[in-house]
Amino acid sequence: MAEIKVPELAESITEGTIAQWLKKPGDYVEKGESICELETDKVNVEIMAEESGVLQQLLANKGDTVAVGQAIAIIGEGAASAPPAPEKAPQLAEEPKPAVPVDRAEQPAPQPVAVAQAPGQRPIASPAARKMAREKGIDLTQVPTVDPLGRVRKQDVASFAAQPAAVPTAEAGKPVIREKMSRRRQTIAKRLLEVTQTTAMLTTFNEIDMSAVIDLRKRKKDKFFEEHDVRLGFMSFFVKAAVAALKKYPYVNAEIQGDEILLKKYYDIGVAVSTDEGLVVPVVRDCDRKNFAEIERDIAELAAKARSNKLSLADLQGGTFTITNGGVFGSLLSTPFLNGPQVGILGMHSIKLRPVAIDEERIENRPMMYVALSYDHRIIDGKEAVGFLKTVKDLIENPEDLLLES
Protein backbone atom coordinates (compact mmCIF):
# COMPACT_ATOMS: atom_id res chain seq x y z
CA MET A 1 0.00 0.00 0.00
CA ALA A 2 1.13 3.57 -0.68
CA GLU A 3 -0.39 6.99 -0.08
CA ILE A 4 -0.97 9.52 -2.84
CA LYS A 5 -0.23 12.96 -1.44
CA VAL A 6 -0.80 16.51 -2.63
CA PRO A 7 2.54 17.54 -4.17
CA GLU A 8 4.39 20.81 -3.73
CA LEU A 9 2.74 23.26 -6.12
CA ALA A 10 4.29 26.70 -5.67
CA GLU A 11 5.72 28.74 -2.84
CA SER A 12 2.53 30.78 -2.46
CA ILE A 13 0.13 27.82 -2.68
CA THR A 14 -0.32 25.67 0.42
CA GLU A 15 -3.69 24.06 -0.22
CA GLY A 16 -6.32 23.34 -2.84
CA THR A 17 -9.81 21.94 -3.36
CA ILE A 18 -10.64 18.58 -4.92
CA ALA A 19 -12.42 19.67 -8.10
CA GLN A 20 -13.15 16.15 -9.35
CA TRP A 21 -11.92 12.58 -9.07
CA LEU A 22 -10.79 11.13 -12.39
CA LYS A 23 -10.54 7.61 -10.95
CA LYS A 24 -12.69 5.65 -8.51
CA PRO A 25 -11.88 2.92 -5.97
CA GLY A 26 -11.15 -0.34 -7.74
CA ASP A 27 -9.71 1.32 -10.85
CA TYR A 28 -6.25 0.25 -11.96
CA VAL A 29 -3.96 3.22 -12.55
CA GLU A 30 -0.57 3.44 -14.21
CA LYS A 31 2.34 5.38 -12.76
CA GLY A 32 2.06 8.98 -13.97
CA GLU A 33 -1.67 8.71 -14.69
CA SER A 34 -3.89 11.49 -13.35
CA ILE A 35 -6.28 10.47 -10.59
CA CYS A 36 -7.85 13.79 -9.62
CA GLU A 37 -8.06 17.47 -10.50
CA LEU A 38 -7.10 19.97 -7.80
CA GLU A 39 -8.38 23.54 -7.90
CA THR A 40 -5.92 26.01 -6.44
CA ASP A 41 -6.14 29.76 -5.98
CA LYS A 42 -4.67 30.31 -9.43
CA VAL A 43 -5.01 27.26 -11.69
CA ASN A 44 -6.31 23.72 -11.76
CA VAL A 45 -3.67 21.00 -11.62
CA GLU A 46 -3.91 17.24 -12.01
CA ILE A 47 -2.44 14.98 -9.33
CA MET A 48 -0.77 11.88 -10.69
CA ALA A 49 -0.10 8.44 -9.25
CA GLU A 50 3.55 7.92 -8.35
CA GLU A 51 3.31 4.16 -8.90
CA SER A 52 1.07 1.65 -10.62
CA GLY A 53 -1.62 -0.28 -8.80
CA VAL A 54 -5.25 -0.42 -7.78
CA LEU A 55 -6.86 2.64 -6.23
CA GLN A 56 -7.98 1.20 -2.91
CA GLN A 57 -9.48 4.17 -1.07
CA LEU A 58 -10.19 7.88 -1.41
CA LEU A 59 -9.31 9.90 1.67
CA ALA A 60 -10.92 13.15 0.50
CA ASN A 61 -14.22 14.00 -1.12
CA LYS A 62 -14.94 16.23 -4.06
CA GLY A 63 -15.07 19.77 -2.67
CA ASP A 64 -12.74 19.04 0.26
CA THR A 65 -9.88 21.42 1.00
CA VAL A 66 -6.58 19.55 1.17
CA ALA A 67 -3.12 20.78 2.14
CA VAL A 68 0.21 20.23 0.42
CA GLY A 69 1.63 16.94 1.70
CA GLN A 70 -1.75 15.60 2.77
CA ALA A 71 -2.65 12.02 1.78
CA ILE A 72 -5.77 11.97 -0.42
CA ALA A 73 -5.87 8.35 -1.64
CA ILE A 74 -4.38 4.89 -1.08
CA ILE A 75 -3.10 2.79 -3.95
CA GLY A 76 -2.10 -0.88 -3.95
CA GLU A 77 1.58 -1.48 -4.67
CA GLY A 78 2.79 -3.43 -7.68
CA ALA A 79 1.62 -3.68 -11.26
CA ALA A 80 0.26 -7.17 -10.61
CA SER A 81 -2.66 -5.86 -8.58
CA ALA A 82 -6.03 -6.26 -10.20
CA PRO A 83 -9.27 -4.37 -9.66
CA PRO A 84 -11.57 -6.11 -7.15
CA ALA A 85 -14.21 -8.36 -8.74
CA PRO A 86 -17.71 -6.83 -8.53
CA GLU A 87 -19.27 -10.05 -7.20
CA LYS A 88 -17.04 -9.99 -4.12
CA ALA A 89 -17.98 -6.48 -3.04
CA PRO A 90 -21.08 -7.49 -0.98
CA GLN A 91 -18.81 -9.47 1.38
CA LEU A 92 -18.07 -6.22 3.21
CA ALA A 93 -21.75 -5.91 4.08
CA GLU A 94 -21.86 -9.47 5.48
CA GLU A 95 -19.41 -8.58 8.26
CA PRO A 96 -20.97 -7.59 11.60
CA LYS A 97 -20.94 -3.90 10.86
CA PRO A 98 -24.59 -2.74 10.96
CA ALA A 99 -23.55 0.81 10.11
CA VAL A 100 -22.86 -0.22 6.49
CA PRO A 101 -25.87 -1.08 4.28
CA VAL A 102 -25.41 -3.84 1.71
CA ASP A 103 -25.78 -1.59 -1.29
CA ARG A 104 -23.17 0.83 0.10
CA ALA A 105 -20.39 -1.71 -0.43
CA GLU A 106 -21.56 -2.28 -3.99
CA GLN A 107 -21.01 1.38 -4.88
CA PRO A 108 -17.50 2.08 -6.19
CA ALA A 109 -18.25 5.73 -6.97
CA PRO A 110 -16.53 8.17 -4.62
CA GLN A 111 -19.58 10.36 -4.15
CA PRO A 112 -20.65 11.03 -0.54
CA VAL A 113 -23.51 8.78 0.51
CA ALA A 114 -25.38 9.25 3.78
CA VAL A 115 -24.88 6.08 5.82
CA ALA A 116 -28.09 5.03 7.52
CA GLN A 117 -27.79 4.36 11.23
CA ALA A 118 -30.14 2.20 13.25
CA PRO A 119 -32.01 4.01 16.05
CA GLY A 120 -29.61 4.54 18.93
CA GLN A 121 -26.74 3.14 16.86
CA ARG A 122 -23.40 4.79 17.61
CA PRO A 123 -21.84 5.78 14.24
CA ILE A 124 -18.33 4.65 13.33
CA ALA A 125 -16.18 7.79 13.44
CA SER A 126 -12.65 8.87 14.20
CA PRO A 127 -11.96 10.72 17.46
CA ALA A 128 -11.14 13.87 15.52
CA ALA A 129 -14.46 13.64 13.66
CA ARG A 130 -16.36 13.21 16.94
CA LYS A 131 -14.59 16.19 18.50
CA MET A 132 -15.37 18.45 15.53
CA ALA A 133 -18.99 17.25 15.45
CA ARG A 134 -19.40 18.08 19.14
CA GLU A 135 -17.92 21.52 18.67
CA LYS A 136 -20.15 22.30 15.70
CA GLY A 137 -23.28 20.60 17.06
CA ILE A 138 -23.49 18.15 14.16
CA ASP A 139 -25.31 14.81 14.30
CA LEU A 140 -22.79 12.26 13.01
CA THR A 141 -25.56 10.00 11.71
CA GLN A 142 -26.39 12.70 9.16
CA VAL A 143 -22.84 13.12 7.82
CA PRO A 144 -22.19 11.49 4.39
CA THR A 145 -18.94 9.62 3.81
CA VAL A 146 -17.20 7.79 0.95
CA ASP A 147 -15.41 5.35 3.25
CA PRO A 148 -16.21 1.75 2.18
CA LEU A 149 -16.92 0.79 5.80
CA GLY A 150 -18.99 3.82 6.56
CA ARG A 151 -16.45 5.47 8.85
CA VAL A 152 -16.93 9.20 9.33
CA ARG A 153 -13.70 11.16 9.15
CA LYS A 154 -12.81 14.69 10.20
CA GLN A 155 -12.86 15.93 6.61
CA ASP A 156 -16.37 14.50 6.16
CA VAL A 157 -17.59 16.54 9.13
CA ALA A 158 -15.81 19.65 7.83
CA SER A 159 -17.40 19.25 4.37
CA PHE A 160 -20.83 18.72 5.93
CA ALA A 161 -20.41 21.79 8.14
CA ALA A 162 -19.44 23.91 5.13
CA GLN A 163 -22.71 23.17 3.36
CA PRO A 164 -25.28 25.99 3.58
CA ALA A 165 -27.97 25.32 6.15
CA ALA A 166 -31.57 25.18 4.99
CA VAL A 167 -32.89 28.22 6.81
CA PRO A 168 -35.89 30.38 5.96
CA THR A 169 -35.05 33.45 3.89
CA ALA A 170 -36.41 36.93 4.38
CA GLU A 171 -38.55 36.34 1.29
CA ALA A 172 -40.38 33.27 2.57
CA GLY A 173 -41.76 31.09 -0.18
CA LYS A 174 -39.73 32.78 -2.93
CA PRO A 175 -37.46 30.58 -5.12
CA VAL A 176 -33.74 30.97 -4.38
CA ILE A 177 -30.58 29.11 -5.32
CA ARG A 178 -27.57 28.80 -3.01
CA GLU A 179 -24.25 27.83 -4.49
CA LYS A 180 -20.84 27.65 -2.90
CA MET A 181 -18.19 29.97 -4.31
CA SER A 182 -15.41 28.20 -6.16
CA ARG A 183 -11.94 28.45 -4.69
CA ARG A 184 -10.89 30.73 -7.54
CA ARG A 185 -13.86 33.04 -7.00
CA GLN A 186 -13.10 33.13 -3.26
CA THR A 187 -9.49 34.05 -4.07
CA ILE A 188 -10.58 36.79 -6.47
CA ALA A 189 -12.91 38.21 -3.83
CA LYS A 190 -10.20 38.08 -1.18
CA ARG A 191 -7.59 39.77 -3.36
CA LEU A 192 -9.93 42.53 -4.50
CA LEU A 193 -10.79 43.26 -0.88
CA GLU A 194 -7.09 43.33 0.02
CA VAL A 195 -6.42 45.83 -2.78
CA THR A 196 -9.04 48.22 -1.44
CA GLN A 197 -7.65 47.90 2.09
CA THR A 198 -3.89 48.00 1.42
CA THR A 199 -3.44 50.44 -1.49
CA ALA A 200 -4.28 54.06 -2.18
CA MET A 201 -5.93 53.26 -5.52
CA LEU A 202 -6.94 56.04 -7.84
CA THR A 203 -8.05 56.05 -11.49
CA THR A 204 -7.47 58.56 -14.27
CA PHE A 205 -9.18 58.51 -17.68
CA ASN A 206 -8.59 59.58 -21.25
CA GLU A 207 -9.99 58.81 -24.68
CA ILE A 208 -8.29 57.59 -27.83
CA ASP A 209 -9.20 58.14 -31.44
CA MET A 210 -8.81 54.64 -32.89
CA SER A 211 -9.07 55.75 -36.54
CA ALA A 212 -5.37 55.34 -37.38
CA VAL A 213 -5.02 51.90 -35.78
CA ILE A 214 -8.22 50.65 -37.41
CA ASP A 215 -7.03 51.89 -40.80
CA LEU A 216 -3.56 50.38 -40.37
CA ARG A 217 -5.00 47.06 -39.21
CA LYS A 218 -7.43 46.97 -42.12
CA ARG A 219 -4.60 47.52 -44.62
CA LYS A 220 -2.12 45.10 -43.06
CA LYS A 221 -4.16 42.32 -41.44
CA ASP A 222 -4.28 39.96 -44.45
CA LYS A 223 -0.56 40.20 -45.18
CA PHE A 224 0.19 39.97 -41.47
CA PHE A 225 -1.78 36.72 -41.21
CA GLU A 226 -0.11 35.26 -44.33
CA GLU A 227 3.36 35.95 -42.98
CA HIS A 228 2.86 35.10 -39.31
CA ASP A 229 -0.16 32.78 -39.21
CA VAL A 230 -1.70 34.84 -36.43
CA ARG A 231 -4.28 37.62 -36.57
CA LEU A 232 -3.36 41.24 -35.91
CA GLY A 233 -5.53 42.51 -33.07
CA PHE A 234 -5.67 45.69 -31.04
CA MET A 235 -4.04 44.21 -27.95
CA SER A 236 -0.53 44.07 -29.41
CA PHE A 237 -0.70 47.81 -30.13
CA PHE A 238 -1.68 48.53 -26.53
CA VAL A 239 0.99 46.21 -25.15
CA LYS A 240 3.72 47.95 -27.16
CA ALA A 241 2.33 51.38 -26.26
CA ALA A 242 2.23 50.41 -22.56
CA VAL A 243 5.85 49.23 -22.67
CA ALA A 244 6.94 52.55 -24.17
CA ALA A 245 4.99 54.43 -21.49
CA LEU A 246 6.45 52.24 -18.71
CA LYS A 247 9.96 53.06 -19.89
CA LYS A 248 9.10 56.76 -19.73
CA TYR A 249 7.35 56.48 -16.34
CA PRO A 250 9.21 53.66 -14.52
CA TYR A 251 7.34 53.97 -11.22
CA VAL A 252 4.23 52.57 -12.94
CA ASN A 253 6.32 49.40 -13.50
CA ALA A 254 7.32 49.16 -9.84
CA GLU A 255 6.32 47.36 -6.66
CA ILE A 256 6.27 48.34 -2.99
CA GLN A 257 8.17 46.04 -0.64
CA GLY A 258 8.00 47.27 2.94
CA ASP A 259 9.48 50.76 2.96
CA GLU A 260 11.28 50.25 -0.36
CA ILE A 261 10.29 50.68 -4.00
CA LEU A 262 11.37 47.93 -6.40
CA LEU A 263 11.79 49.40 -9.89
CA LYS A 264 11.57 46.65 -12.49
CA LYS A 265 13.67 47.02 -15.63
CA TYR A 266 11.85 44.24 -17.48
CA TYR A 267 8.40 44.27 -19.03
CA ASP A 268 6.25 41.19 -18.40
CA ILE A 269 2.73 42.30 -19.23
CA GLY A 270 -0.30 40.48 -17.82
CA VAL A 271 -3.28 40.26 -20.17
CA ALA A 272 -6.58 39.58 -18.41
CA VAL A 273 -8.59 36.68 -19.86
CA SER A 274 -12.16 35.83 -18.88
CA THR A 275 -12.98 32.15 -18.32
CA ASP A 276 -16.06 30.31 -17.08
CA GLU A 277 -14.47 30.09 -13.63
CA GLY A 278 -13.42 33.74 -13.38
CA LEU A 279 -10.78 36.17 -14.54
CA VAL A 280 -7.16 35.02 -14.89
CA VAL A 281 -4.13 37.07 -15.89
CA PRO A 282 -1.50 35.10 -17.82
CA VAL A 283 1.74 36.94 -18.47
CA VAL A 284 3.41 37.75 -21.80
CA ARG A 285 7.15 37.81 -21.07
CA ASP A 286 9.75 40.33 -22.29
CA CYS A 287 7.32 42.40 -24.34
CA ASP A 288 10.01 45.01 -25.01
CA ARG A 289 11.96 42.39 -26.98
CA LYS A 290 9.07 40.99 -29.00
CA ASN A 291 7.46 42.19 -32.20
CA PHE A 292 3.73 42.46 -32.85
CA ALA A 293 3.44 38.93 -34.23
CA GLU A 294 5.21 37.36 -31.25
CA ILE A 295 3.00 39.24 -28.82
CA GLU A 296 -0.20 38.31 -30.68
CA ARG A 297 0.90 34.66 -30.81
CA ASP A 298 1.67 34.57 -27.08
CA ILE A 299 -1.67 36.19 -26.23
CA ALA A 300 -3.60 33.72 -28.40
CA GLU A 301 -1.80 30.72 -26.90
CA LEU A 302 -2.27 31.89 -23.32
CA ALA A 303 -5.96 32.69 -23.87
CA ALA A 304 -6.54 29.20 -25.36
CA LYS A 305 -4.77 27.59 -22.39
CA ALA A 306 -6.81 29.68 -19.96
CA ARG A 307 -10.15 28.69 -21.49
CA SER A 308 -9.20 25.01 -21.61
CA ASN A 309 -7.93 25.11 -18.01
CA LYS A 310 -4.36 24.29 -19.08
CA LEU A 311 -2.50 27.28 -17.65
CA SER A 312 0.48 26.46 -15.48
CA LEU A 313 1.45 28.42 -12.39
CA ALA A 314 4.45 29.78 -14.29
CA ASP A 315 2.06 31.33 -16.84
CA LEU A 316 0.50 33.47 -14.11
CA GLN A 317 3.46 34.57 -12.01
CA GLY A 318 5.73 37.58 -12.12
CA GLY A 319 3.85 40.16 -14.18
CA THR A 320 4.93 43.79 -13.83
CA PHE A 321 1.88 45.55 -15.31
CA THR A 322 -1.59 44.44 -16.45
CA ILE A 323 -3.93 45.29 -19.32
CA THR A 324 -7.61 44.36 -19.21
CA ASN A 325 -10.15 44.82 -21.99
CA GLY A 326 -13.71 45.16 -20.75
CA GLY A 327 -14.67 46.39 -24.19
CA VAL A 328 -15.03 42.84 -25.49
CA PHE A 329 -18.11 42.57 -23.25
CA GLY A 330 -19.47 45.98 -24.24
CA SER A 331 -18.12 48.04 -21.33
CA LEU A 332 -18.01 51.73 -22.17
CA LEU A 333 -16.12 52.85 -19.05
CA SER A 334 -14.91 51.17 -15.86
CA THR A 335 -12.41 51.44 -13.03
CA PRO A 336 -10.11 48.39 -13.14
CA PHE A 337 -8.77 46.98 -9.88
CA LEU A 338 -5.03 46.68 -9.34
CA ASN A 339 -3.51 43.24 -9.74
CA GLY A 340 -1.34 43.29 -6.61
CA PRO A 341 1.52 43.63 -5.96
CA GLN A 342 1.57 45.59 -9.24
CA VAL A 343 0.89 49.31 -8.92
CA GLY A 344 -0.74 49.98 -12.29
CA ILE A 345 -3.37 48.51 -14.61
CA LEU A 346 -4.63 49.79 -17.96
CA GLY A 347 -8.29 49.34 -18.84
CA MET A 348 -9.48 49.26 -22.46
CA HIS A 349 -13.14 49.69 -23.39
CA SER A 350 -15.60 49.54 -26.27
CA ILE A 351 -14.91 51.43 -29.49
CA LYS A 352 -17.88 53.71 -30.22
CA LEU A 353 -18.54 56.23 -32.97
CA ARG A 354 -18.78 59.66 -31.36
CA PRO A 355 -18.82 63.19 -32.77
CA VAL A 356 -15.39 64.75 -32.34
CA ALA A 357 -14.43 68.38 -32.89
CA ILE A 358 -11.64 68.35 -35.46
CA ASP A 359 -11.21 72.11 -35.35
CA GLU A 360 -13.35 75.15 -34.69
CA GLU A 361 -15.49 74.49 -37.74
CA ARG A 362 -15.50 70.73 -38.33
CA ILE A 363 -17.05 67.86 -36.40
CA GLU A 364 -16.57 64.27 -37.52
CA ASN A 365 -17.75 60.90 -36.29
CA ARG A 366 -14.68 59.04 -35.04
CA PRO A 367 -14.23 55.56 -33.48
CA MET A 368 -13.35 56.49 -29.91
CA MET A 369 -12.25 54.39 -26.94
CA TYR A 370 -12.20 55.44 -23.30
CA VAL A 371 -9.11 54.17 -21.46
CA ALA A 372 -8.49 54.08 -17.72
CA LEU A 373 -5.33 53.80 -15.64
CA SER A 374 -5.77 52.66 -12.05
CA TYR A 375 -2.66 53.20 -9.97
CA ASP A 376 -1.33 53.12 -6.43
CA HIS A 377 -1.12 56.74 -5.34
CA ARG A 378 1.43 55.82 -2.64
CA ILE A 379 4.24 55.86 -5.20
CA ILE A 380 2.64 57.23 -8.38
CA ASP A 381 1.64 60.88 -8.50
CA GLY A 382 -1.20 62.22 -10.59
CA LYS A 383 1.23 63.92 -12.96
CA GLU A 384 2.94 60.60 -13.75
CA ALA A 385 -0.38 58.79 -14.15
CA VAL A 386 -1.76 61.39 -16.55
CA GLY A 387 1.53 61.45 -18.46
CA PHE A 388 1.55 57.66 -18.77
CA LEU A 389 -1.98 57.58 -20.17
CA LYS A 390 -1.24 60.49 -22.52
CA THR A 391 1.79 58.60 -23.88
CA VAL A 392 -0.38 55.54 -24.59
CA LYS A 393 -2.96 57.77 -26.29
CA ASP A 394 -0.38 59.51 -28.51
CA LEU A 395 1.20 56.23 -29.62
CA ILE A 396 -2.12 54.55 -30.44
CA GLU A 397 -3.27 57.59 -32.39
CA ASN A 398 0.05 57.56 -34.29
CA PRO A 399 0.77 53.82 -34.59
CA GLU A 400 3.72 54.32 -36.93
CA ASP A 401 5.58 55.73 -33.95
CA LEU A 402 5.24 52.35 -32.25
CA LEU A 403 7.61 50.92 -34.85
CA LEU A 404 10.28 53.29 -33.58
CA GLU A 405 9.60 52.12 -30.01
CA SER A 406 9.81 48.41 -30.94
**CA–CA dist 107, 89 (Å, integer):** 9
Q: Has 103 been annotated as catalytic?
A: no
Q: Has 377 been annotated as catalytic?
A: yes
Question: Of residues 64, 215, 381, 401, which has the active-site annotation?
Answer: 381
**CA–CA dist 386, 384 (Å, integer):** 6
Please give the biggest Cα pair distance in the chain.
96
Report the b/e string of 233-255 with b at 16+ CB within 10 A. bbbbbbbbbbbbbbeebebbbbb
- Find the length of the chain: 406
Neighbours of 101 (CB within 10 A): 14
Question: Of residues 139, 215, 222, 377, which has the active-site annotation?
Answer: 377
- For residue 199, give the nearest of 337, 74, 402 by alpha carbon: 337
Contact 254, 321 (CB under 8 A): no
**CA–CA dist 230, 215 (Å, integer):** 18
**CA–CA dist 278, 125 (Å, integer):** 37
Residues annotated catalytic, as ranges? 377, 381
